[in-house]
Amino acid sequence: MPKQAHHVTWGGRFAVGPAALMLRFSESVSYDRRLAPFDIAGSQAHAAMLARVGLLSVRERAAIHAGLDAILAEISAGRFKWDAALEDVHMNIERALTRRVPAAAKLHTARSRNDQVATDMRLWFKHACGVLGEKIRAVQRALLGVAAAHRRVLIPGYTHLQRAQPVFLAHHVFAWLEMLARDRARLAAVAASANWCPLGSGALAGTTLPVDREFTARVLGFVDARGRPQLTQNSMDAVADRDLFVEFAAAGALFGSHLSRIAEDLILWSSTEFGFVSLPDAFCTGSSLMPQKKNPDACELLRGKSARLQGNLQTLLTLIKGLPLTYNRDLQEDKPPVFDTFDQAAICADVLAGLAGGLTINAARCAAAAADPALLATDLADYLVTKGVPFRQAHHAVGAVVKLAEKSGVPLNRLPTVEVKKINPAFGPDWAGVFDLRRALAKRIGTGMPGPTQIARQFARWNKALK
Ligand code: ARG
């Protein structure tokens, strides 16, 4: 039999309490308990505000504050008894507080769980974005270390997974750093959108009581760069809005795509076919059958986790689509996807940082691949351009040179000059000089290009940015 309704906080108008099945179905405390530090900070700020406007005495406020401190200590020590019958983190904490502090019965004055959870989550997002941003920065630093330790290593760059043009390994790594820098910027933007205080919005229509929203916002750190409080401007939107969830999950999903692409590069590079890198044993596994195998499982999981991160974004978009304003209980399902995005993105970042720290570069294999003269076919076309040949004709002529090399089984740079001249008379005696790899790179002087002067500039830039 369901318990008497007066056992639940909102039981006044109910004849019977929720069925055990309903409690199990509707509880969220199993996952929203991680909001406890934010919930408690929010409650302490709210109590301070209530005291300030005269709705709590100074004594009551102090008792509530101390009681919440004690509860937080218990939670941190793992001694707090969570009760699924109390639904969520908010009710669990409030009930525990009420048991020890009579004034706790006044804490929920001028507040609803709707603006309470909106506040908790905004505080959580600010925290989560900061933590994740730092972890991504650690990945960047580890990758920068790889580039710095192999400054002079050249590899082919690829398009369509076909050898295209030579680049410094550092240039490829810097491309990853750019992707990750954008991820960090996106997370910083999410934290900035989170920085608006919804407390005081009540269930959806504010309160008749004389609350001081600016005060609570200030106490909780919802302030701009000049310390001015930032308040949500519409009570209905404030409790219904879940944009931040989507923005955070989107930032996570895109970070996941980046991880996946980086992981895929490493998987390819560590294959016997490429052999550019060797992954650290500590992040690989063996085969139960084939003794020679060393499998890039960490990279494969980085690639696989990106699917999950994308799924979380999709879950949220679907969850909020078509919901009438304002709060609907559906919205309780908003937390598992963002918590999962945080947890998975965080461990992925840690794994990639660890893996990058143990990467071995096979310089000889890289050099052999980068020495493929075909990588400089485009440079050969540029050479003809400097001799006055229009690029389209130059491209065509070099194509014919490549075809000839292939047909005669001679490396591109070893073809006899007379043969090459037959294809286009603009080829001079110096034509094969184009295939000097270092010289070819040195010509790439523009911003963003892989020439050595630019690489040096980028090293300086990243060293400073990631100091
Ligand atoms: N656990 C709830 C959630 O996360 C808290 C808000 C409940 N509000 C309500 N009106 N039932 O959605």
Whether residue 218 contacts residue 48, with contact meaning beta carbons closer than 8 Å, is answered with: no
Q: State the catalytic residue, choosing from 30, 76, 287, 408.
A: 287
The class (CATH top level) of 114-367 is mainly alpha
- Transcribe 439-466 into DSSP letters: HHHHT--STTS-SHHHHHHHHHHHHHHT
The question of whether 160 is a catalytic residue gets the answer yes
The ligand 1 atom nearest the CA atom of 332 = 12
114 Cα–ligand 1 center, Å:
6
**What residues does each domain of the chain span?**
20-109, 114-367, 372-465
Identify the residues whose C-beta falls under 6 Å from ligand 1. Answer: 28, 88, 113-114, 117, 327, 329, 331-332
327 Cα–ligand 1 center, Å:
8
Number of H helices, E strands in the chain: 18, 4
pLDDT digits (tens, 9 = 90+) for 327-337: 999 999 999 99
The question of whether 76 is a catalytic residue gets the answer no
The reported pLDDT for the residue numbered 13 is 86
Distance, in Å, from the CA atom of 62 to the CA atom of 73, rounded to the nearest integer, reads 17
Whether residue 454 contacts residue 447, with contact meaning beta carbons closer than 8 Å, is answered with: yes
Total-model pTM: 0.95
Distance, in Å, from the CA atom of 301 to the CA atom of 308, rounded to the nearest integer, reads 11
- Transcribe 380-395 into DSSP letters: HHHHHHHTT--HHHHH
Supply the residue whose CA is at minimum distance from atom 2 of ligand 1: 332
Q: What CATH number labels 20-109?
A: 1.10.275.10
pLDDT digits (tens, 9 = 90+) for 28-84: 999 999 999 999 999 999 999 999 999 999 999 999 999 999 999 999 999 999 999
> Does the pLDDT value for residue 148 go beyond 90?
yes
363 Cα–ligand 1 center, Å:
57
Q: Which residues, including other chains, have CB under 8 Å from residue 300's CB and lie 6 or more apart?
A: 263, 267
pLDDT digits (tens, 9 = 90+) for 1-11: 445 555 677 77
CA distances from 357 to 175, 310, 353 (A): 18, 27, 6
Q: 20-109 and 114-367: same fold?
A: no
269 Cα–ligand 1 center, Å:
49
Instruction: State which amino acid sits at residue 286.
Output: G
Domain 372-465 has CATH 3.40.50.720: no
Whether residue 279 contacts residue 204, with contact meaning beta carbons closer than 8 Å, is answered with: no
Across the strands, what pairs with 166?
156
If you search the block for the tokens 């004849």, which residue do you land on? Answer: 15
Among candidates 195, 180, 101, 108, which has minimal Cα distance to 139?
180
